[in-house]
Amino acid sequence: MQTDEQLKELVKQKYSDIALQDKETNQASCCGSGCCSDEVYNIMSDDYSALNGYNPDADLGLGCGLPTQFAKIKKGDTVIDLGSGAGNDCFIARAETGETGKVIGIDFTPPMIEKARANAAKLGFNNVEFRQGDIEHMPVTANTADVIVSNCVLNLVPDKNNVFKEIFRVLKPGGHFSISDVVLVGSLPEALQKDAEMYAGCVAGAIQKDEYLDLIKKNGFANITLQKEKAIIIPDDILSNYLDEAALAEFKSGQTGIFSITVYAEKAKDCCGDDCCK
């Protein structure tokens, strides 16, 4: 069993490679991890291209939802994107928050930060910045963000509870998040759950849907809402790398489901009087 630090290093190495790949290569694999399929396979089946702010140079095809579409971003907001990659969600958030707002992307991987900064420079944005850091320990002061978004990233973090603690710390009172992520219903086969390559491919790092939502609740968030949910189907030629024929048949006939969810939650406003919380 790999340690948390070893898993983080695996993710950093994998996503450094992914930063140099084209979108088509990433779309044919598990979150760009390289376990390529002959089938057309992309868990990010949602289409960004119609959204304001979309920039094809920043779209690496790594997401599993459209959190910025659901994030209720207003003009002048400060928005933070966790696991910002090449900047795709940041640029769409910037279209919503406008020139009076601010967008901060945080990513663990130096080549991704470099690529995102180059994309921002080409677009001439002076209110979008990218910071290298671990989202378990965000390089951001408390009570900074009006909105936090993230797209298919928390499943890669070994200690998801720490991330939700950090989200709560960094959000302003009354702020909220919209996060797309991969979760499970039922147990993955042991071979999938333990494989480091599949961890970098989003699936083995996912936790149970109920556990995921419970972590949000336990960290003090209110008005928790599932904004979208969809099943993720992994092609047989990827699964066969991990499961023999009998195990594959059992997995496909069982109760296990792999889902993309987009979840919304709020940090309550500070109370300042007898009536403000009613």
Residue 277 counted as domain residue: no
Q: Beta-carbon neighbour count of residue 244 at 10 Å?
A: 10
Res 12: pLDDT: 72
Residue 274 counted as domain residue: no
Residue 272 counted as domain residue: no
Residue 96 counted as domain residue: yes
- Report yes or no: 225 and 192 within 8 Å, Cβ to Cβ: no
Interval 66-90 mean pLDDT: 96
User: Among 103-107, 174-178, 195-199, 247-251, which is the least confidently predicted range?
Assistant: 195-199
> Is residue 78's pLDDT more than 60?
yes
Query: Which of 37-41, 126-130, 238-242 reaches the highest mean pLDDT?
Result: 126-130
Interval 108-128 mean pLDDT: 95
> Is residue 254's pLDDT more than 70?
yes
Interval 61-82 mean pLDDT: 93
Interval 240-266 mean pLDDT: 88
Res 33: pLDDT: 46
Q: 147: exposed, middle or buried (C-beta count within 10 Å: 0-12, 13-18, 19+)? A: buried
Considering Cα of 174, then 178, then 182, then 183, what sign does the dihedral take? positive
Angle between helices 160-170 and 209-218 (to 10 degrees): 40
**Residue with structure tokens 């603690």?**
165
Note the helical H segments in 171-208.
Answer: 190-194, 196-200
- Report yes or no: 55 and 83 within 8 Å, Cβ to Cβ: no
Res 40: pLDDT: 41
Interval 5-17 mean pLDDT: 73
Task: State the amino acid at position 191 in one-letter form.
Answer: A
Res 272: pLDDT: 56
* pTM, full prediction: 0.86
- Report yes or no: 96 and 81 within 8 Å, Cβ to Cβ: no
Work out how many domains the chain is built from and give that number.
1
Residue 275 vs residue 157, higher pLDDT: 157
Query: Which of 33-47, 148-162, 195-209 reaches the highest mean pLDDT?
Result: 148-162
Instruction: Compute the distance between CA of residue 131 and CA of residue 122 in angstroms, rounded to an integer.
Output: 18
Residue 275 counted as domain residue: no
Residues paired with residue 213 on neighbouring β-strands, in sequence order: none
DSSP 61: S
Interval 42-70 mean pLDDT: 80
Residue 271 counted as domain residue: no
State the residue range of the domain holding 35. Answer: 4-234+243-266
Residue 48 vs residue 66, higher pLDDT: 66
> Is residue 37's pLDDT more than 60?
no
Residue 71 counted as domain residue: yes
Res 49: pLDDT: 79
CATH, residue 115: 3.40.50.150
Interval 117-138 mean pLDDT: 96
Task: State the amino acid at position 192 in one-letter form.
Answer: L
Residue 273 counted as domain residue: no
Res 258: pLDDT: 86
| Mean per-residue pLDDT of the chain | 85
